[in-house]
């Protein structure tokens, strides 16, 4: 019989596997890393106990699970551990996985810090930054060092994902300020908040305008903003009083549909849409569909309806955009009817 091990624990093991591989050689294992992360997410969303599925020999029915990963799941169910995972732990300090959670630190820098300074934890990274040691490393300077210190502080401030209702209040405050600005033609909440998720990691906002610069300025100077993480022509990122990160993108109104689609996600849903576009000889990004025949011809979408229509799909509501079968359902014209408040009566 199988061990007591939850879907969640198995998912965590695959995420750890992905992170350790990322540290070892991000490029060399690029697609394996993606595969492991996909499976981790699929397992967390799986409504059934993996052990039951395994007992029936149906593991490969899970999206993203093939022969190799099915074997790894079985190994976890039987032994509670993975040989591959243990080997990687011996090669790469596990504490580096936490270091990866620091904004601005990816696998390259984490390994650089480890190999040059022996850093294996966030605490050690913080100490090294305070002592001015990071700036001595190639590609690092005083500014990068300071950013890392601030990221570590931010990491401590927000321990968990925010409840959607709390985040919604914070989002609407910023949104109202943006809507009140001259030359803002539209302003919308995007991201997981728009998808109706119960908890959200950050707030994503989108505005339609022909003059993004003054809007970006107003955004980063909003009274709720405590820190500017990045500010560019069309994309800025800030930290709010609540500790929440808030990202804003600005696009011209004729491109609002592709932008809202992109910024609403989910990532997995976006990737599926982009694959569908490629099948039709089009490349899709947040700005437009672009013909892949070299002509550079663009198809602009002011609304999301146009985006889906271009892909021969009926409109898919944000709440369903998780790549959990909604694309296939849409293609079969069999999307479920969502329950709206207005449909409910006492």
- Non-local CB neighbours of 105 within 8 Å, separated by 6+ positions: 99, 113, 125, 148, 151
Q: Confirm or reject binding of residue 209 to DNA (CB under 7 A).
A: no
Residue 55 engages DNA in binding (rule: CB under 7 A): no
Q: Which is nearer to DNA, 25 or 78 (CB)?
A: 25
* Rounded Cα distance, 152 and 145, in Å: 11
Q: Which of residues 186-205 bind DNA (CB under 7 A)?
A: 190-192, 201-202, 204
Query: How far are the Cα atoms of 86, 111, 112, 128 from residue 121, in angstroms, in the given order?
Result: 19, 12, 13, 11
Q: Which one, 104 or 336, has the nearer CB to DNA?
A: 104
Q: Does 51 bind DNA (CB under 7 A)?
A: no
Cis before 25? omega within 30? no
Q: Count CB neighbours of 131 within 10 A.
A: 11
Least distance in angstroms from the C-beta of 342 to DNA: 26
98 sits near DNA (criterion: CB under 7 A): no
- Sign of the alpha-carbon torsion through 44, 48, 49, 52: negative
Contact 244, 202 (CB under 8 A): yes
Q: Considering only the stretches 114-122, 162-170, 286-294, 304-312, report the one whose residues sit in contact with DNA under the rule CB under 7 A.
A: 286-294
Nearer to DNA, 279 or 342 (CB): 279
Provide the minimum distance between the beta carbon of 172 and DNA in the complex, in angstroms, as a whole number: 17
Dist CA 25 CA 314 (whole Å): 41
**Span from 68-76, 157-165, 172-180, 334-342 in contact with DNA (CB under 7 A):** 68-76
81 touches DNA by CB under 7 A: no
Size of the residue set binding DNA (CB under 7 A): 65
What's the gap between Cα 339 and its chain centre? 27
CB 229 within 8 A of CB 245: yes
331 binds DNA (CB under 7 A): no
Direct distance between the N- and C-terminal alpha carbons of the chain, in angstroms, rounded to an integer: 49
For position 153 contacting DNA by CB under 7 A, the verdict is: no
Q: Is 107 in the site for DNA (CB under 7 A)?
A: yes
User: Which residues are paired to 245 by β-bridges?
Assistant: 202, 239
Which positions touch DNA (CB under 7 A)?
26, 31-32, 34-35, 60, 63-70, 84, 102-110, 139, 141, 143-144, 147, 190-192, 201-202, 204, 230-237, 245, 247, 262-267, 270-271, 274-275, 277-278, 283-287, 290, 294, 296
């Amino acid at each position: 019989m199988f061990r007591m091990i939850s879907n969640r624990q198995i998912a965590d093991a695959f995420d750890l596997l992905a992170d350790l591989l990322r540290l070892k050689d991000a490029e060399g294992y690029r697609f394996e890393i993606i595969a492991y992360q996909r499976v981790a997410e699929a397992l967390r969303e799986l409504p059934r106990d993996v052990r039951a599925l395994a007992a029936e020999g149906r593991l490969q029915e899970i999206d993203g699970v093939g022969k190799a990963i099915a074997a790894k799941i079985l190994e976890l169910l039987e032994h509670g551990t993975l040989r591959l995972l243990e080997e990687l732990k011996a090669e790469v300090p596990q504490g580096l996985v936490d270091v990866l959670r620091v904004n601005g630190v990816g696998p390259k820098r984490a390994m650089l810090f480890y190999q040059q300074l022996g850093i294996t934890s966030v605490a050690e990274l913080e100490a090294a930054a305070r002592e001015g040691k990071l700036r001595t490393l190639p590609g690092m300077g005083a500014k990068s060092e300071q950013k890392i210190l601030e990221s570590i502080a931010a990491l401590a401030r927000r321990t968990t994902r925010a409840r959607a209702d709390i985040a919604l209040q914070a989002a609407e405050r910023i949104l109202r300020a943006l809507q009140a600005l001259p030359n803002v033609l539209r302003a919308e909440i995007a991201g997981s908040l728009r998808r109706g998720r119960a908890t959200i990691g950050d707030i994503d906002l989108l505005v339609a305008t022909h003059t993004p610069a003054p809007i970006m300025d107003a955004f980063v100077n909003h009274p709720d903003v405590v820190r500017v993480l990045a500010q560019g022509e069309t994309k800025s990122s800030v930290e709010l009083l609540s500790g929440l990160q808030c990202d804003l993108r600005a696009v011209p109104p004729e491109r609002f549909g592709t932008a809202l689609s992109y910024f609403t996600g989910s990532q997995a849903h976006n990737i599926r849409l982009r694959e569908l576009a490629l099948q039709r000889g089009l490349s899709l990004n947040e700005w437009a569909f672009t013909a892949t025949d070299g002509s550079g011809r663009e198809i602009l979408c002011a609304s999301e309806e146009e985006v889906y229509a271009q892909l021969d799909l009926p409109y898919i509501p944000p709440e369903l955009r998780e790549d959990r079968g909604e694309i296939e359902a849409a293609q079969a014209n069999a999307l479920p009817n969502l329950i709206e408040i207005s449909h409910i009566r006492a």
